[in-house]
Each structure stands twice: as C-alpha cells, then as structure tokens.
Amino acid sequence: MPTLINIQRAFSEVILCTTVPNGPMLVYHHNYRANFRSALALEFPVIETLVGKHCFTVLAQQYQTQHPSRSGDLHHIGEQFSSFLAQEYQHSPYAYFADVAVLEWAWQECLIAPDTLAVDPTALTACASERLPKVRLQLQPSLRLVNSKWPVVTIWETNRSDSSPTGLIELALGAEWALIYRTLGGAALRRCSAAEHAFLIALKAQAELESAVADAYAIDAAFNLGRLLEELFRDALITEVYAGVSPLGSGTKNT
C-alpha cells in the first residue's frame, strides 16, 4: 500500500503538471491555478486592468510556476510580482508595469502593517532648537514610499476599479513620487515631490533631520520642510521623536 507521503507526491505531480488531466483530477488541477490567480488579481487590480483578464491569467500561471505559494495564507503571493513583471517586460514598451505593481504591493503592505500610535507636533516643538538638527523622526511602519521614472501614480489613479479610465496617458509625463499611508478606513495615496520623497527616504533610513533636509535641498532648493512636517503630523505619520546623537531606540524620547 502506498504511504501517505507517496500518495501526496503523486497527487501533487498531477496538479503541477502542465498537461491537463482527464476526469475528476481536472478539478484540483484547475483550482490550483484559479485560486492563485484570483488572489493575485485582488492584490494587483490595476495590473489586471492594464493587461486584460486573459493576459493576466497567463502571467499569473507563469508567475506561479516561478514563485509558487509557500503559505496557507495567500496574502503573501504577490511579494515578487513586480520583479517578475520587470523581467517579463524589460526592453518592452510596457516596462512601467513593474513599477505599477510596486505601487499596488505597497498599497497592500500598508493595509496590513502593524498599528502604531502617532505623536503630536509638541514632541518636536518641545525640543531645544540647537538639538533639532540631530533629531530623528520615526515614521509609521505602514508608510510606503513609491517613485518611478514613469507616471505610475497617474496610471494607477486612472485605472483603479472605482474610477473610469479617462483616455490615454502620455508616458513622457515622466517621473512621479508618492507616499501611501494608513487612514482610518484603509489607505490613501498622496503625491509628493522628488525632494519630499528624498527627505522621507532619509527619515526611513533613520537619518538625522539635518541630513534628511540636506538630501531634499540637494534636489530642490525650494523644499518646504515646515509644510511637509505639518502634513506628516496631521496625518499621524510620525510615531517617535528622538533627540540626541545616540542611535535610534536609545535616545531621549520626546513623547
């Protein structure tokens, strides 16, 4: 009598085989692909709109072959979809698909990231002015930053399921930057400038305020630090303010 492991090996081989089986095993063969495709489409609805349903099915099967699910929780399967698309569409007019997928995955990650309480602006304003340059700001763990040399934010906004496509988008519109952050009911996207993006990237890397500001000014001398900080506090995106030169986590917490 075959052992359990041998039966499961044989069963798996039929499911994974590219040849479609006859008879009832067809159901399992189909489910394996259909369940994966459905879950992937929920995570990348704009990619599905852009490529069309049939093409998305083909892409999902190719992606599943290269990156099969390793978890009983299908929410993880999209993690490498953008890099798969980058390879699939490199040197093609659709190379921007990969960056759209990066944005969609960032949205998904934002939705499920851990909750952290925000601090109010007094955490920063209470800090002595001479110490401000060395202050480090910790951002919400759910905050995601997106940038692309293509107008992916425009593409994403135009092709979301809850909006109607409004004509052709000229790729020559060029680079776009955005932050994706948690809101009470889900997530929101806000466009930002290249300088603001550089500032936030530096903060995410735990840079001191003066260093992050320098990165922003290197891109745009008109960078408005006060306005950006006001928006970050307003949207509850700052969770800690550390003063001093000590590394993050052991500094003086102004909360």
Partner 1 sequence: MIPTPQAKLCGVGLRAPHHHEWATRRPTCAVLEIHAENYFASGGAIPALLADLRRDYPLSIHGVGLGLGSSAPMDTVHLQQLKALVTRYEPTRVSEHLAWSTYNGMHHNDLLPLPYTDESLMHMVSRVTQLQDYLQRPVLIENLSSYVGFEDSTLNECEFLAALAARSGCSILLDINNLYINACNHGFDPKKFFDALHKTPVDEIHLAGHTIEIIGEIPMRLDTHGSAVCESVWQLYREALQHFGPTLTIIEWDTDLPALEVLLKEAECAEKITLESYANAN
* Interaction between residue 160 and partner 1 (CB under 8 A): no
**Residue placing its CB nearer to partner 1 in the complex, 7 or 126:** 7
x/- map, 182-201, partner 1, by CB under 8 A: x-xxx---------------
Binding segment toward partner 1, per CB under 8 A, in 130-138, 166-174, 177-185, 196-204: 177-185
Total residues binding partner 1 (CB under 8 A): 45
Q: How far apart are CA 9 and CA 122, in angstroms?
A: 61
**Residue placing its CB nearer to partner 1 in the complex, 25 or 214:** 25
Work out the burial of residue 41: count CB atoms within 10 Å of its CB; fewer than 13 is exposed, 13-18 middle, 19 or more buried.
middle
Sheet bearing 252-253, strands edge to edge: 136-139, 238-243, 252-253
* Interaction between residue 113 and partner 1 (CB under 8 A): yes
Q: How far apart are CA 161 and CA 155, in angstroms?
A: 12
**Residue placing its CB nearer to partner 1 in the complex, 109 or 215:** 109
CA distance readout (Å), 74 to 37, 39, 70, 139: 10, 6, 9, 28
DSSP state of 119: P
Nearest distance, CB of residue 31 and partner 1, angstroms = 5
**Residue placing its CB nearer to partner 1 in the complex, 3 or 92:** 3
Nearest distance, CB of residue 82 and partner 1, angstroms = 20
**Residue placing its CB nearer to partner 1 in the complex, 76 or 253:** 76
Nearest distance, CB of residue 147 and partner 1, angstroms = 24
Contact residues for 160 (Cβ-Cβ < 8 A; gap 6+)? 45, 46
Q: Could you say which of 92, 115, 130, 222 contacts partner 1 (CB under 8 A)?
A: 115
Contact residues for 159 (Cβ-Cβ < 8 A; gap 6+)? 46, 49, 50, 165
> Are the CB atoms for 80 and 62 separated by under 8 Å?
no
Site for partner 1 in 13-72 (CB under 8 A): 15-16, 22-28, 31-32, 35-36, 39, 68-72
CA-based nearest residue to 182, from 228, 231, 115, 229 = 115
Site for partner 1 in 69-108 (CB under 8 A): 69-75
Backbone dihedral angles phi then psi of residue 10, each to the nearest 5 degrees: -65, -40
Residues of the shown chain interacting with partner 1 in the complex, contacts defined by CB under 8 A: 1-5, 7-9, 11-12, 15-16, 22-28, 31-32, 35-36, 39, 68-75, 110-116, 141-142, 182, 184-186
